[in-house]
């Protein structure tokens, strides 16, 4: 599937903490990252990719362009507590590359205006946590999709496809004779 990256503006992470940040001991367990798309208008979000850095759970809220007669645009949760680290105290999944697709979301992402990423890391053992290399993609041009699907189906059909390719080649060369 072809995809096109959407230029975005990522605001710095804001820690959510009860009480005064300076006086309270302990690290914040919740961070919020706001993402706006000043140059692109409302678009259909296809895919989000990023590199995890010790974030355990991810929630995403989206604000979409509502229809003209309705009330002003509301925030909707499109991903709730997506687990990036199966055990928040271990290194598993801590620095992995992740892709999230629109079929994994709870709602349609047709006219996205801005996104809010809510990062949670309940374990007190990590000094920092965040998401790096955030990228957002929308659907690219549709040419050639049909042929790609056909090819994938052919490949998925049998594990002996190596033979299939050899035999197809032989079949074609025999037909030509």
Partner 1 sequence: MLQEEEDLSLTIAQIVQKLKGSRLYAQLERQAWVSLQKPEIKLETLKEDIKEFFRITGWEKKLHNAVYSELTVFPLPRHPAAPPEHLKEPLVYMRKAQGSWEKRILKSLNSMCTELSIPLARKRPVVEQKELLNKWNEMGTDEPDLSLFRPVYAPKDFLEVLINLRNPNYENGEHLNFKTHLGLIQVPLKVKYISELKEFFVELSLNTGQLGIDDATQVPPELFENEHVRLGQKVLAEQDSAAAQQYIRQGSPTALRAELWALILNVSNQPEDLLYYEQLKSNVIQHDLLVDSLIYKDVKLTASNDDYYFVFEDYLYQVLLCFSRDTAVLGHFAYNSASPPKSYIRGKLGMEDYAVFYPPNVAPLCFLYHEPSKLYQIFREMYVRFFFRLHSISSHHSGIVSLCLLFETLLQTHLPQLFYHLREIGAQPLRISFKWMVRAFSGYLATDQLLLLWDRILGYNSLEILAVLAAAVFAFRAVNLMEVTSLAAAEAVLADLSTLKVMPLLQIFLFATVT
The residues of the shown chain that bind partner 1, judged by CB under 8 A, are 49, 51, 53-54, 86-87, 89-92, 94-99, 101, 103, 124-128, 133, 135, 152, 155-156, 159-168, 170-171, 174
CA–CA distance, 139 with 40 (Å, rounded to integer): 13
What is the closest distance, in whole angstroms, from the C-beta atom of residue 37 to partner 1 in the complex?
Answer: 20
Closer to partner 1 at the Cβ: 23 or 177? 177
Closer to partner 1 at the Cβ: 64 or 121? 121
Closer to partner 1 at the Cβ: 16 or 163? 163
Closer to partner 1 at the Cβ: 83 or 95? 95
C-alpha closest to that of 129 among 49, 68, 55, 34: 55
Buried b (16+ CB within 10 A) or exposed e, 61-95: bbbbeeeeeeeeeeeeebbeeeebbeebeeeebbe
What is the closest distance, in whole angstroms, from the C-beta atom of residue 126 to partner 1 in the complex?
Answer: 6
What is the closest distance, in whole angstroms, from the C-beta atom of residue 156 to partner 1 in the complex?
Answer: 6
What is the closest distance, in whole angstroms, from the C-beta atom of residue 128 to partner 1 in the complex?
Answer: 6
CA–CA distance, 138 with 26 (Å, rounded to integer): 39
Crossing angle (nearest 10°) for helices 145-157 and 161-176: 110
Closer to partner 1 at the Cβ: 100 or 113? 100
First to last CA, the chain: 37
What is the closest distance, in whole angstroms, from the C-beta atom of residue 72 to partner 1 in the complex?
Answer: 34
């Amino acid at each position: 599937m072809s995809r096109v990256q959407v230029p975005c503006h990522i605001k710095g992470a804001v820690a959510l903490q009860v009480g005064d940040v300076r006086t309270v001991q302990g690290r914040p367990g919740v961070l919020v990252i706001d993402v706006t798309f000043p140059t692109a208008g409302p678009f259909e979000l296809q895919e989000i990719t990023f590199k995890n850095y010790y974030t355990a759970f991810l929630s995403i809220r989206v604000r979409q362009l509502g229809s003209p007669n309705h009330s002003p645009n509301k925030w909707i949760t499109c991903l709730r507590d997506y687990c990036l680290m199966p055990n928040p105290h271990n290194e598993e999944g801590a620095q992995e590359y992740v892709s999230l697709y629109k079929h994994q979301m709870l709602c349609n992402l047709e006219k996205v205006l801005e996104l809010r990423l809510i990062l949670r890391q309940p374990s007190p053992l990590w000094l920092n946590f965040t998401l790096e290399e955030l990228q957002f993609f929308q659907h690219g041009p549709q040419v050639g999709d049909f042929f790609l699907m056909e090819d994938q189906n052919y490949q998925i059909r049998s594990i002996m496809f190596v033979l299939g390719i050899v035999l197809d080649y032989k079949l074609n060369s025999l037909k030509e004779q």
